[in-house]
Structure 1
Amino acid sequence: MSSKFLRSSEAPLSCVVTDSPAETSAEMQRCVEWLQAYFTEPQTAGSLPLPAFHHPALQGDAFTSRVLQVLLSDVKFGETVSYKRLAEMVGNPRAVRAVGGAMRRNPVPLLIPCHRVISSSGQSGPYMSGRGDHLKQWLLTHERQRGDG
């Protein structure tokens, strides 16, 4: 499957999937639909089902899995949470650094929104080990601007 992103001066960014949905697995199609909604009608993305996640970091009751599951279920579109508050939400308020480690191990960082985790001071904190800080800012701005629908 291939897709292309189009931008013109008159139209917002859009994603066009070029292969037939019949040729795409149901989980991949679900992922494509979610991503299209997130970037074109972001306020609707939260009501769409996410694809099934099969990565080991997301399975079981390990700390990383719990953190990512709480982040996914409890921090909604357009909201942010501090590393400290997320540690508290998981039940271990002293595990702030471990929450940062869980963010680094997130295998699907857009779908499980680690960009919504910020420092207690309100600063955005590093994203993609600091290489994606500009992306984190863009995602947060995108959600704030488009989230009230």
Structure 2
Amino acid sequence: MHKLGYFYLPSGKQIALEISESTNKYRYSTNKDKVKFPNIESIIKLFDQTPPFDNSRNLSHFEQIREFTIAKGGRKGFTVYIYECEFNKMKEIKGSPFSKYGDGHESLGLKRGSRVIGRYIDTGKKYKDKYVFSSISLINDN
């Protein structure tokens, strides 16, 4: 999944997160819950897609990631919505959405080059049990 770039597709990232959560949450034999892995249909559907990386081109993995990021518009930055979550209520922080991760990091008091948003975006996990990062708006303004 990783070497061919499937991890960088939204469905691939979701499957990787599901596998990680399942193996970490249910790995102990004393746990009475059953292991919940992603279903095989979603995995087959993912691998039916053309992989983002072409390993026959003799480029390093780093070079392929760089090309992929630039093709997605990485030179201009990626939009990030940042939400503050308290008591099951979610509100967008001031200045959100940000057109670059670095701007979002600065709004949280982090260094521009931090990797926090990249690690948490679109995972549904809270950073410092308070902030959620998303590439799309999670609040319906209608």
TM-score norm. by structure 2 comes to: 0.24
Higher relative helix content: 1
Q: Which has the larger radius of gyration?
A: 2
